[in-house]
Amino acid sequence: MQQSLMPKRRHYWESPSQTYRKGRCDMTAKRMIAEPIAKIPSYLLSADEYTDLPVRHNEDQMNSELAKHLPIEVNPHSFDSSHTKTHLLLQAHFSHAMLPCPDYATDTKTVLDQAIRICQAMLDVAAHHGWLVTALNITNLVQMVVQGRWIHDSSLLTLPNIELHHLYLFRKWSQGKRKSAHGGYQGPIECLPELMAACEGKENVFASIVESELQTAHVSQGKQDSKAVAPRFPKVKDEGWFLILGEVDKKELIALKRTGYIRNRNTVSVAFYTPETPGKCIYTLYLMSDSYLGMDQQYDIYLNIIPAGTSAQVTAEPSDAMGHLTLK
């Protein structure tokens, strides 16, 4: 793969959502750098959009009771706070916890709808500052919001009708004598990519894995449109992808691009600037779903930067793993 790219300084673009939130986002930007995704980041919980979330009469007591059943502790003196209630509702969404009353279900829909918009704006801020780790974390957070799962949950739980007590079916599965002629994945299955490798596009293989627990009617649910399978998200959502190019050693985000639903294959152009200093470097391309956990991929791209005075060509040697990707 060759690209006619001159070594130049990288400049940053500004999207409409970034412009809209720039003043407020810049105030919280430094907090975004190192916050772990295992905990719900404070830059989401403290967003102005949640200031008006209602805390009704006696809901401070209900918040206190709900907090006892959730994994992350909150300030016990803030149960009358809209932001604390937001924190609890997000935890309950990820944990599939029972809500104390119907009003909380309505409030959860509001929180989730706002969360996607806030994350998109924060992703623009991360791109503006070149924060690779933060951008990856925010993308994972979007996946968590859409699926209603914690980042550490099994990605197999994304499958329709699959619950925690079904996971043993995948762990005990093995190809054994059914191993395909060209090899194939032999098991056990711990995540979605391993399941895809095991099934090789054959629905009957998946049916054989879960048939002891699920009826056939719950297995044959082919998906042909662009809508994400997200039963816990309150709105219909189209599948999409983030392409994030970064330099891992420097933890620097080089380029970010969003693309929509991909049915079979697609060609996507990603523009970026190479380093000014001639020599070899490695960029990493992250292909991340905006809807599903466990489907993310990454590929190393090996670049050899040649001085512009000698040649305007930058020779890129993709890793073997990128052989099936189409970049333009």
Helices and strands, number each (H, E), in the chain: 9, 6
More confident residue, 319 or 212: 212
Report if residue 240 sits inside a domain: yes
pLDDT value of position 266: 79
Best CA proximity match to 95, nearest among 41, 164, 36, 166? 164
SS3 label, residue 54: coil
More confident residue, 160 or 254: 254
pLDDT value of position 82: 96
What is the token pair recorded at 62?
Answer: 């209900």
**120 and 90 in a common domain:** yes
Query: For 279, phi and psi rounded to 5 degrees?
Result: 135, -175
Domain at 107, CATH number: 1.10.3380.10
**187 and 103 in a common domain:** no
Per the confidence metrics, is the pTM higher than 0.75?
A: yes
Report if residue 127 sits inside a domain: yes
pLDDT tens-digit series, residues 134-151: 999 999 999 999 999 999
Q: Which helix (H) or strand (E) holds 314?
A: strand 314-318
What is the tally of structural domains in the chain? Answer: 3
pLDDT tens-digit series, residues 93-105: 999 999 999 999 9
